[in-house]
Amino acid sequence: MGANSSSISELPENEYLQKLSGSEPISENDPFWNQLLSFSFTTPTNSADLKLLEEATISVCKSLVEKNPRTGNLGSLIKVFLSRTKELKISAECQNHLFIWQAHNALFIICCLLKVFISRMSEEELQLHFTYEEKAGPSSYGAECEDLIEELLYCLIQLIVEIPLLYPCQHTDSNWWKWLCSWYRGRYSGGVTSALGDITYSISLEAVTTLIVFLSCQLFHKEIVRESVIHRYLMHGRCLPYTSRLVKTLLYNFIRQERSPPPGTHVFQQQTDGGGLLYGIASGVATGLWTVFTLGGVGSKASAQLEQCSPLASQSLLLLLVLANLTDTPDTPNPYRQAIMSFKNTQDNTAFSSSNPHAFQINFNSLYTALCDQQKSDQATLLLYMLLHQNSNVRTYVLARTDIENLVLPILEILYHVEERNSHHVYMALIILLILTEDDGFNRSIHEVILKNITWYAERVLTEISLGSLLILVVIRTIQYNMTRTRDKYLHTNCLAALANMSAQFRSLHQYAAQRIISLFSLLSKKHNKVLEQATQSLRGSLGSNDSPLPDYAQDLNVIEEVIRMMLEIINSCLTNSLHHNPNLVYALLYKRDLFEQFRTHPSFQDIMQNIDLVISFFSSRLEQAGAELSVERVLEIIKQGAVALPKDRLRKFPELKFKYVEEEQPEEFFIPYVWSLVYNSAVALYWNPRDIQLFTMDSG
């Protein structure tokens, strides 16, 4: 690393931080701010450095919390930040290129301080630190004092939606950005990307991070926060008109996956001519406070994780998920959720509905590609779920894609590696499949997509298999895993619902998929017999004793019989609707025909067994007529011939199996803790003390 990370421990004794958190008020026009804010650093990302930074920041914050009501220095720092950003936008003619650099550094300090403040005080106390302004009296509140919280939130949103990342002149008509591009091109041989792009990337990331920190009060409450000043500012007033632009920008940040600048690359570097005034200021101050803050500077290695991802894309997605899951207020639905529910493809020329002012357009092809590429992360899977469930435009587009395997395969891989995934990620992946299988077109098309060599499927070599058969294999494997490990009824229900939705469109099932369907039924049958035997033995043993209560075998038996009934309905649905397309399923059914004997006369299954019994009898008879010792090929040939000959009117018609995903009441009770667990575990350059977290336990998510 650049400077020794242990030097962070020296921060509380540094003269600049002592003055900031000291007893003397610092005017927003004081030259002190130029000294404080002229530094270069790479934000620490590993947990050890972040924890050290947190501990050092807490020490400074304790002093600031105590003295800020008398000094107003936090407010002065925020006003300095606001002035830098405003001057950057309206005063390009002054050619003061320090503003964006100092604005970034001011925002970093504000974010560090806010994170500690929010974790240690109520929202009411936080407001006092923002609104206090020293007047003539020792403790008065200025009626004319502008609301710095709203002003800061508004400025952060403006930064996110208005600052381009790379080659800004190509993405905006803003005159001040055009001037800034021109200046950098003349000043640096590396061009806009290596100079301006690095610092704009960093300030965009810092703005997104600070918004997440502003909303992090939820982490420190066990109950869902339904009323909040921060929520109110974001959903009303000056911030509201930026809703669609903010959502669109965050989505595009996720889509673009821009990599972060290499560690140690800064905009303001020494020039060969000895540098000018700017470099003199920067280098002079850097020898003071902020040399200890260059944790990932020149000569250090970026972590493998950061090399493989975009911190801005990851952080933007987390912020988007947080905003989308803010609770509605009594008078206003969440505008960010409304924007997510209603945006359209750039190729869609239909008029926007006047009832939704937050609608916008985005490139669906780019969004689809990003969603396919990023499904290894919980947050990308959660975004996909939200879009499919809430945005009918996205759902229609996805279902119409001719390369649907690019999206389905990563979802299947999540389910296949169920042992390595957290339960929430598995649930989201499974619900996505359930939503997709609600569409008959999807259920037909997946059997037409032929895949080669699925390397991650280890139970059997699959050199060629349809996407539909692979989906069946993975869902059945998930059911079997759940039966032996987690025993989660919710997981069972959704797996079986997805299979049921597909069953009428089963086509050309792979022989292994057909075998696994019957094998699952065999497993259920054995479990049913075992529980039945246990119930019988328990009942006999209890006849002579009334002391101990009987285990509730009846409930276990009912659950197993419900699952068996569903599996029989799935098999029946396939036989009724597409028997002639699935000789391998008939073959597997005949091979294990004895399994079904015990259910013929069972009152819970008699009706559904009629068709299965008829198919078994019909094809068994034809095989007996063909003689003994038939080869597999010959048996399949007889089955195919018999499928044509079997009168369809002999099969009893049952209602079509169709299940639709419905979100449970009060979904926020599930989604808000889940989203914040993702923020806690995945956010870049953010650390919270686990002992302070109230919303969820450390092993949740």
pLDDT digits (tens, 9 = 90+) for 231-258: 999 998 899 999 999 999 999 999 999 8
- Judge whether 292 and 5 are in contact, CB under 8 Å: no
The three-state secondary structure class of 452 is strand
Q: What is the pLDDT, as a whole number, of residue 70?
A: 86
DSSP string, 315-337: HHHHHHHHHHTSPPPSS---HHH
Least confidently predicted of 250-259, 317-326, 484-493, 650-659: 484-493
- Judge whether 2 and 297 are in contact, CB under 8 Å: yes
Q: Which of 11, 19, 116 is nearest to 58 (CA)?
A: 116
Least confidently predicted of 23-27, 95-99, 198-202, 467-471: 95-99
CB atoms within 10 A of CB 439: 16
- Judge whether 470 and 528 are in contact, CB under 8 Å: no
**Percent composition of the chain: helix, strand, coil (DSSP 3-state, to 5):** 65, 0, 35
Tokens of 413: 């891989």
Q: What is the pLDDT, as a whole number, of residue 285?
A: 36
Rounded CA-CA distance 430/488 in Å is: 13
Rounded CA-CA distance 509/512 in Å is: 8
Least confidently predicted of 10-14, 517-521, 676-680: 10-14
DSSP string, 651-700: SPP---------PPSSTHHHHHHHHHHHHHHH-TT----GGG--SS-TT-
* pLDDT, greater one: 532 or 457: 457
Rounded CA-CA distance 482/463 in Å is: 27
- Judge whether 416 and 457 are in contact, CB under 8 Å: yes
- Judge whether 117 and 148 are in contact, CB under 8 Å: no
- Judge whether 22 and 70 are in contact, CB under 8 Å: no
Rounded CA-CA distance 259/317 in Å is: 15
Rounded CA-CA distance 326/612 in Å is: 50
Q: What are phi and psi for residue 559, nearest 5 degrees?
A: -65, -50
Model's pTM, two decimal places? 0.87
Q: What is the pLDDT, as a whole number, of residue 545?
A: 56
Mean pLDDT of 380-407: 97
DSSP state of 461: -
Q: Which of 597, 459, 418, 570 is nearest to 509 (CA)?
A: 570
* pLDDT, greater one: 184 or 378: 378
- pLDDT range class, residue 503, cuts 50, 70, 90: very high
Q: What is the pLDDT, as a whole number, of residue 267?
A: 40
Task: Round the average pLDDT of the chain to a whole number and report it.
Answer: 82
- pLDDT range class, residue 560, cuts 50, 70, 90: confident
- Judge whether 364 and 371 are in contact, CB under 8 Å: no
The pLDDT tens digits for 62-72 are: 888 888 888 88
The pLDDT tens digits for 601-642 are: 888 898 999 999 999 999 999 998 888 788 999 999 999 999
Q: What is the pLDDT, as a whole number, of residue 252?
A: 95
Q: Which of 41, 54, 40, 51 is nearest to 12 (CA)?
A: 54
- pLDDT range class, residue 128, cuts 50, 70, 90: confident
